Each structure stands twice: as C-alpha cells, then as structure tokens.
Structure 1
Amino acid sequence: MADRARRPRRGGHRGRGGLRALRLGDLDVVAGYEADEMASSGRGQVLVPWPNRLRDGRYEIDGTTHELPITEQETGNASHGLTRWEGWRLRERHDDAVVVSHTIHPRPGWPFHVEVVVAWVLDGSGLTCTTQATNVGDAVAPWGYGAHPYLALAGTPAAQARVRVPAARVLLVDDRMLPADLVEVGGTPSTCATASRSASATSTTPTPTSSGARTAAGRSRWPRTGSSAGWGGPGLDWVQVFTGKARDEGTPGVAVEPLSCPADAYNTGVGLVRLEPGQTWTAQWGLEAQRV
C-alpha cells in the first residue's frame, strides 16, 4: 500500500484531518468521498473530545455543570464532539505517512484546552492511526475519542453485508440513541460470542485480551472481491457498527468505529478519561485489507 518514505514536507496547510479514502490497488478499503465533497454521515471523521451522543448537551465535571449546543436536533443531543468540521494543520507528509494536528480551544460549554495530534501511517498490511491528546490547559478535561471509518462493500448493499465483531456485551440504546442497557451477547439477536450482525446501531465491548494486544474491532467480508478488518489497541475498548442513514447517498459501506467510550460517557462516566493538565492520552487503531 506504500513504499519507501521520502523527506517530510511541513507547512501550514489546513485539511479535514480524517480518513477520506484508502485503496489497495484497485480495491477500495473504505467507502469514502471525493476531495470536493462533504463527509456524509461522518465518513472518516475524527470524533473528539467525545464520540457519539451527549444527552441534552449537558454534563457536570468537578461540581460545575456545562451546556453545549445541540447538534443533532432529532434526538436533542450534542453529537460527535467539536472537531468534525474544523480545519487541521499538516505537520508532516511522507510517502507512507501523514501527521496532522488540531487545538481544541476553550469555549462556552467546554472550557478546556487540548492539543490533538493524529498520525496516519501505511505499511504492507494496511493503515495505522495513532492519536495523542495533550491537556495544555490548567483544568482537568473530560476526554473521549472515536473514529468513523466506513468499510467498503464493493457495491454490496449494506443490508446484505456480514460484519463480525468479537464482543462479550452489547450496549442497547433508546430512541434517542442513548444508553439503555448493557447486556451479554447471548441475550440479544447477535449470534454467539462474535456478535455477528448485518445491521447494527449498538456499541460493544471487545472480549478482554492481554495488555498491549490488538483486538479485532470488526470484519466485513464480501464474495470475490476482498476482505477488510479493523483493530483497536488498548484504550479503545468499544466499537460501534453503523450501516448509514437512508438519506445517505454515499458509496455503500458499513461504519466500524473504534471508540474509547460509549455514548453519553460525560454523564455516565463509562470509559471517560479525566485528562489532567500536562497529561497525554494515546491510542491506536487500524485497518487491514487483503484480496481473497
């Protein structure tokens, strides 16, 4: 997917910071979008400082209540963080790697100061994304991370795709897409311990692994064309599978989203990181592809 690196290019160019496209030869690994298009349904976006939904846009930390703008009117929630539509700075560019950064400045509802650096690196098996978040402010900052890649389906309708997620539990959600109940996989329509589903809007916790090991975040397969899989490292203990919205006219794909926490973590505390002043949080995830 890449070869020898060249001398890095540096500059002040601003881009979107996420994953727009990924190909293996003539095979699309992700269902992305063109350079002059908008990222429909969150395609490839970086979701910080929280992924998924935040109930009513409100939360409390250290005795102070904060209120954020409602960005998802149909559910009445603040959705997918603060950086989806912001510009990112290009720090380095090689043949096989790109490093970008974005500073989340204090603002009403989120009075914290965090510097985010994302490195996208290609090797012979696929793509690795390394994200670092450093609290450069003076107060403890609530922190959550998510990514939103769509695995490509080579034209197969999402409803016919097979997605396998190795998970022990499934987080069921209510009609506002907020946490309702965390249940064992055996108590849901998911099958066996792999939580195999063709269309899901749930979050899951992977089966525990040894420290430092990669855990499979999801795998999609389609006949004759190829196979792709996602993995998440330590700190990314959740994955959401999403088949897209009916109004989405983008390339067919299934979102397999590595997450550090589920929806509404600012209020439930599940998976929430308290990022101390000067502290750096780091996590990795990636995509692998092969022809079959």
Structure 2
Amino acid sequence: MNAARQEHPSGEQWTIRHGDLEATVVEVGGGLRTLTAGGLDVLAGYGADGMASSGRGQLLMPWPNRLRDGRYRFDGRDQQLALTEPARGNASHGLVRWALWSVLDRSESALTVGYRLHPQQGWSGRLDLSVRYELSAAGLEVSTTVDNVGADRAPFGYGAHPYIALGDTSLSDVVLTVPAVEQVLVDDQRKLPTGAAPVEQDDHDFRRARPLGATRLDTAFTGLSRDDDGRWRVRVGGLVDRPDVSVWGDRSFGWVQVFTDKGEDHGVDGVRGVAVEPLSCPADAFNSGEGLVVLEPGEQWSGQWGLVVHR
C-alpha cells in the first residue's frame, strides 16, 4: 500500500527558485504563500500547515476589495453575491481566493497557474484566468492574463495582496514611499468609498520617504507617478534586520492599497507585515464604474506587478 500523500490546508505546494530567491505558490487560490531571499522572509506569508489569513498572498478576481451589499447591476441584470464580509455587509475580494488552481506550465524559476471561473450565484461571466510567477535577478514578476471565453460581456477588476515582512522592526519605524497625489476616502463602518482627497489630508502624503510614526493606513492611493518604464513603485524600508522591498505595478494598475494593521508590534494574527496591494480598480467598482474593465466576448486583459529586494 502506498503511503498517504501529505495534505496541506492550502493544497499542493509549488516552489520556484532563482539564485537565493525562493517562492512557494499554492493550489488553493493560486496565491503566493512565501517569498524568501537567502532564507530570510521577504513576504509575511503563512506556514504549510496553515491557511491564508487576512488575504495573505491571495489573488483577488473578478473584483478586489469590497462590494457594497454584494449587489450590482450589469447589462440590465441585477446580481446578488454572497456576503463574504458579513459584519460589514460586503462581498469581499472576488470569487477565486479559495478555488483550486492548476499548473499550466512550470520551470525551475517560473510557474503558471490557471483557473476557469464559471457562472455562479451573483456572477454570470465565464473567464479563463492565468497567472505566471517568475523569479530572476530583478526579483519577482507576476503576469496575469484574463480571457472572456463566454458568450456575454463581463465586468472585471484585479488585485493582489502581498504583505512585506517587517521582522523585528517596529511599525512606527517603517519608512514608506508612495508616489501618489490622491487617496480614496472611505466610511468608518463599512470601509466603502465616499470620495477622494489629496494625500496631504490626514497626514497620508508619503511622496517623500518617511517613517509611518503614528500614521495607520488602510488606504487606496491613486494619481500615481510612474518611472520611464511606466511602473509606479512603493518602497517599504527602514527595516532593521533586512533590506528594503519595492512593490511595482504597470499601467494596468491605477491604484495601490497600503494596509498596516497586520504590522502592529503586538496582537497580530500571523507574521507581521505591511500589505502593498496593486489594484486595477478601487473598492465597489462594480457599482461606481471607476476603473472597471468590461471584457467583451473573446477579449483579453493583462497586467504585471512585482517585487524587488534592494540588496
């Protein structure tokens, strides 16, 4: 009799390597469980014996962030999604976080996973989702393509949810750079958009690198300055026992969310980290239409984001 295969809460574990960089992608959600450099955690992920908490490393499709009441109207049809954030009455972070993804292609330093999103409660589209993780001397690059393989149009948004590991650094000492001129304002109770404001409001201006201090963020930034390659870059630095890390996004990502709650010095569930989340649209885009992509039958969307470890 063959020995029983070891089962993990996040399913199959797929590891890729380049130099001293190593990443593990998981079957459940197709997300990034770990990223290390020289054995040191770059991402605040989770163990093989656990499951993703607080969105750690997950892929957020076909919408990121929150959707008010789980309701929206598209092409004359009212849709009602399950409320996956019941305390706030929202549908949160899409439909594929807990789905089983498959390997489409694999090499020593790269892995492509895929999933077909079928119609279901509150969702009538049919999309083929493909995500390629690749390690190189430049760091980690994540390339996502989405094909509408159905007969109808489909609304679409995308987000990723990596947390940068802080090690022993106090959250107030973390040095943050966010090249944004505007922030999305949200209400206190449901964290849904109420408007926009300059980053100077509420001390959220991080265009010049500075420590977080007493500032705490659960904030989507936009109006992002880009380098000559078309990418914006958010840098997390000031880390006492590890190098700075930058998260970048290409022109498909007009927003970036920075979330600091899981970086607090005490009382955090899981590894301490600051989330830097590339977003193609802000919260509630299915209702507001802001940043929303509408995929016609046969149409494709693509976007790239990644991480650089500064050593």
Work out which of the residue numbers 207, 229, 254 in structure 2 matches 1:237. 254
Tell me how many residue pairs correspond in the alignment.
282
SS at match of 1:109: coil
Structure 2: gaps of 5 or more residues = 1-16, 20-25
Kept in 2: contact 1:96–1:122 (CA 8 A)? yes
Give the TM-score of the pair, scaled to structure 1: 0.90
Kept in 1: contact 2:161–2:275 (CA 8 A)? yes
SS at match of 1:44: coil
CA distance in 1, matches of 2:73, 2:187: 22
Kept in 2: contact 1:41–1:244 (CA 8 A)? no
Q: Deviations over 1:182-208 (max 9, x none)?
A: 011123312364596452011011434
Measure how far apart 1:234 and its partner are. Answer: 1.0
Structure-1 residue corresponding to 2:23: none
Q: Which moved more, 1:184-193 or 1:19-28?
A: 184-193
Matches within 5 A, 1:1-292: 2=18, 14-175=27-188, 176-191=190-205, 193-194=207-208, 197=212, 198-209=215-226, 213-244=230-261, 248-291=268-311
Measure how far apart 1:15 and its partner are. Answer: 4.4
SS at match of 1:267: helix
Measure how far apart 1:225 and its partner are. Answer: 2.1
Q: Percent identity?
A: 46
Kept in 2: contact 1:221–1:228 (CA 8 A)? no
Q: Which moved more, 1:278-287 or 1:208-217?
A: 208-217
Measure how far apart 1:56 and its partner are. Answer: 0.2
Per the alignment, do residues 149 and 105 of structure 1 end up closer, same or farther by CA in structure 2, a change over 3 Å counting? same
Q: Tell me which stretches of 4 or more aligned residues in structure 1 moved more than 4 Å.
A: 194-198, 245-248
Per the alignment, do residues 218 and 135 of structure 1 end up closer, same or farther by CA in structure 2, a change over 3 Å counting? farther
Q: Deviations over 1:211-230 (max 9, x none)?
A: 85111144343134211010
SS at match of 2:306: strand
Q: Which moved more, 1:158-167 or 1:51-60?
A: 158-167
Structure-2 residue corresponding to 1:8: none
CA distance in 1, matches of 2:209, 2:192: 20
Give the TM-score of the pair, scaled to structure 2: 0.85
Per the alignment, do residues 281 and 66 of structure 1 end up closer, same or farther by CA in structure 2, a change over 3 Å counting? same
SS at match of 1:40: coil
Q: Which moved more, 1:150-159 or 1:108-117?
A: 150-159
Letter in 2 for 1:26: G
CA distance in 2, matches of 1:99, 1:43: 19
CA distance in 1, matches of 2:46, 2:206: 34
Measure how far apart 1:102 and its partner are. Answer: 0.7
Question: Aligned-residue CA RMSD in angstroms?
Answer: 2.0
